[in-house]
Amino acid sequence: MKVASYLTTPIYYVNDVPHIGHSYCTLATDTLARFARMQLGNNEVFFLTGTDENSQKTVDAAAKAGVSIEVYLKDMAARWQSTWDTIGISYNDFIRTTEARHVDTVHELFQKIYDKGDIYKGTYKGLYCTGCETFKKSSDLNEAGRCIDHPNQDIKHLDETNYFFRLSAYEKPLLEWYEKNPDWLQPRSKKNEIISFIKSGLEDVSVSRETAEFGISLPMDPAHKVYVWFDALINYYSGIRTPEREHFWESAFHIIGKDITRFHCVIWPAMLMAAGIPLPKGVFAHGFFTIDGTKMSKSLGNVISPVDLSVQYGNDALRAGLLSSFEFGSDGDFSAENFAEFYRTKLAGGVGNLFNRVTVLITKFCDGQVDLNNAGLDLKPEFEKFESLLEQKQLKGAYDFYFATVDAANQRLNETEVWKLAKIDADAASKIFTELFDYLVLLSEMAVVLLPESAPKMRAMIGLEGKVGAAQIMFDSGRTDK
Ligand code: ME8
């Protein structure tokens, strides 16, 4: 069997520009994709991201901007894609849900499920929040009768003919699936939540909108549009429908935020079961973070742009700072102050300083040549530890381990006072230099995944066959103490 890895991020709504919450999810997926490439090779990894465009939010935002929907979408999709390019995301493809390849796949799946009898026509009478693009029950609303997440938007009262997906029929198959595949949804706490939700009883869900102004028309009834979530989830399948990509499907793994777990872990697997398509290999739902203890929101003015952080500190700082702030899978907090401190101590003062000191000392005392005949350090177990942390998707753990390794190397340097030793015992110093060099090699290897823009600079400083190369500027861009 061919080994492969297909990783996806959610496709983001285009009515907003990317903020560091979206970047967190995309950077986490990027890290796992880079790790998969390290283990399986570039050709066996496929990383998909993109934009969710067939939404009422699009119509409203284009009207507000005073441009046509097409112009608005083109501009916004380009902004999302260029943000990912700017911050160094290694996606293999960027999918837009207005593309023909996606529309065709949605039509195909919708028709398949309809033909099977699991989509039927009915009437939907109830509430709808455009902010969430979700049908609501009155028990989902706050005391003022508004959506908890979008209290500034009016709840719509719908009374329209809709097509329904027979989700209720999948209660048992879903529970059996979770029983047989206990690790399919991680972390475990999220899985327990989903299982209780399924056990509380599943109702059929509306999967079309009669009054939607924009979206994908139903193949059997073009006056109706496919409900945006039913359409959006299918992107993961649309993205690999070419002969050279098809084999990736069985290794599909979705990284999502916890806010969209029910869509991905109840509706999506049921849709796939109904369409007769094998389920993806798994889903990981990460937590949400606040900014200085407060929810990130435009009205509070605390939204942070990933591009601003990247311009000030560099891309590696952005990814390391975000991914090491709190456990992947838990909620957390991010503060600009802690980030600046992290940059100063762990990156500039830790990694950058270690590479500089060690290579400068080797240049000064050994004419730049490390003696590779010395025994050195066996750091293979350290590398295995790093691999095992990433296999378990412990992203913060992997960064913590990286910085602990930097500390261990710095400690070896300081304890041995090799710059003094070199003047009195060249042989003893030579052995220490080899050990320190081994640490740099290990750090540069782990950096391919964790600090990918610095990794080539580290390799350039390490040089070839023990002959160290020229100094490189690392973690110097955002320093306030320059
Ligand atoms: O939900 N902390 O798109 P979206 C961590 N289009 N992650 C955050 C975050 C925060 N404060 N804020 C946002 C949609 N996110 C749908 C998805 S997929 C078929 C369709 C991240 O633009 C988190 O990963 O609202 C969340 O799931 C995603 O942004 C939602 O992005």
Final residue of a domain: which of 287, 304, 324?
Answer: 287
CATH number at residue 416: 1.10.730.10
Q: Which of 319, 357, 343, 335 is nearest to 481 (CA)?
A: 343
CATH number at residue 18: 3.40.50.620
- Residue 244 and residue 153 in one domain: yes
Q: Are residues 195 and 53 in the same domain?
A: yes
Is 156 labeled as catalytic in the residue annotation?
A: no
Q: What is the rounded average pLDDT of the residues 332-339?
A: 94
pLDDT per position as a tens digit, 68-83: 999 999 999 999 999 9
Are residues 342 and 202 located together in one domain of the fold?
A: no
User: What is the per-residue pLDDT for 131?
Assistant: 86
> Of the residues 287, 320, 346, which one is the last residue of a structural domain?
287
By CB atoms closer than 10 A (0-12, 13-18, 19+), residue 60 is: middle
Write out the residue range of the structural domain in which residue 61 sits.
5-287
Stretch 55-62: mean pLDDT, rounded? 91
Query: Based on the domain organization, do 127 and 195 belong to the same domain?
Result: yes
| Domain assignment of residue 79, yes or no | yes
480: confidence class by pLDDT, cuts 50, 70, 90: very low
Same domain? 213 vs 352: no
Instruction: Note whether 358 and 263 are same-domain residues.
Output: no
pTM, two decimal places: 0.95
User: What pLDDT digit, counting tens, does each position of 226-263 carry?
Assistant: 999 999 999 999 999 999 999 999 999 999 999 999 99
Q: How confident is the model at residue 335 (pLDDT cuts 50, 70, 90)?
A: very high
Q: Is the pLDDT of residue 1 over 50?
A: no
Asked if residue 160 belongs to a domain, the reply is yes
pLDDT at site 80: 98
> What pLDDT is stored for residue 477 in this prediction?
65
> Do the Cβ atoms of 152 and 130 come closer than 8 Å?
no
Q: Are residue 280 and residue 365 in the same domain, yes or no?
A: no
Average pLDDT estimate for 92-117: 98
- The Cα 324–Cα 105 span in angstroms is 38
Same domain? For 368 and 254 the reply is no
Count structural domains, the chain.
2
Residue range 142-167: mean pLDDT, rounded: 90
In a domain, 323, yes or no: no
pLDDT tens-place string over residues 421-466: 999 999 999 999 999 999 999 999 999 999 999 999 999 999 999 9
Angle between helices 395-416 and 20-40 (to 10 degrees): 70
Question: Is 366 considered catalytic here?
Answer: no
Pocket residues for ligand 1 (CB within 6 Å)? Answer: 10-13, 21-22, 24-25, 52, 232-233, 235, 256-257, 259-260, 288-289, 296
Residues listed for the chain: 482
Mean pLDDT of the chain: 95
Q: Are 458 and 440 in contact (CB under 8 A)?
A: yes
Ligand 1 center to 455 CA (angstroms) = 29
pLDDT of the residue at 158: 86
Q: Residue 477: inside a domain, yes or no?
A: yes
- Choose one of 12, 80, 190 to mutate for the ligand 1 pocket test, by most ligand atoms within 8 angstroms of C-beta: 12
Residue 479 has pLDDT above 50, yes or no: no
Tell me which residue has its CA closest to atom 31 in ligand 1: 12
Looking at the structure, tell me whether residues 142 and 263 fall in a common domain. yes
Residue 297 lies in a domain: no
Give the distance (Å) from ligand 1 centre to CA of residue 230.
16
Note whether residue 319 is domain-resident. Answer: no
Quick one: which atom of ligand 1 is closest to the CA of 258? 27
Q: Which residues contact 37 (CB under 8 A, 6 or more apart)?
A: 44, 45, 90
Q: Are residues 385 and 462 in the same domain?
A: yes
Q: What is the per-residue pLDDT across 360-405, written as a single tens digit (0 to 9) for each?
A: 999 999 999 999 999 999 999 999 999 999 999 999 999 999 999 9
Which of 25, 57, 129, 264 is labelled catalytic? Answer: 129
Q: What is the mean pLDDT of residues 468-474?
A: 94
Is there a catalytic annotation at residue 295?
yes
Q: Say if 322 falls within a structural domain.
A: no
Contact 97/51 with Cβ under 8 angstroms?
yes
Q: How far is the CA of 472 from the centre of ligand 1 (A)?
A: 37
Mark which of 253, 287, 321 sits at the end of a domain: 287
- In this prediction, residue 153 carries a pLDDT of 87
Q: What is the share, in percent, of the chain residues with pLDDT greater than 70?
A: 98
Q: Give the pLDDT of residue 295.
A: 87
Q: How confident is the model at residue 300 (pLDDT cuts 50, 70, 90)?
A: confident
CA 22 to centroid of ligand 1, rounded, Å: 6
Please work out, in degrees rounded to the nearest 5, the angle formed at the alpha carbon of residue 457 by the alpha carbons of 81 and 39.
65
224 catalytic residue (yes or no) = no
d(CA 119, CA 164): 5
The atom of ligand 1 lying closest to the CA of 52 is 6
Pocket test for ligand 1, best of 7, 20, 22, 331 (most atoms within 8 A of CB): 22
| Residue 8 predicted with pLDDT over 90 | yes
Is 180 a domain residue? yes
Looking at residue 467, the DSSP 8-state letter turns out to be B
Same domain, 198 and 275: yes
pLDDT tens per residue across span 167-210:
999 999 999 999 999 999 999 999 999 999 999 999 999 999 98
Q: What is the pLDDT of residue 10?
A: 98
Catalytic entry in 25, 57, 102, 132: 132
Whether residues 109 and 249 share a domain: the answer is: yes
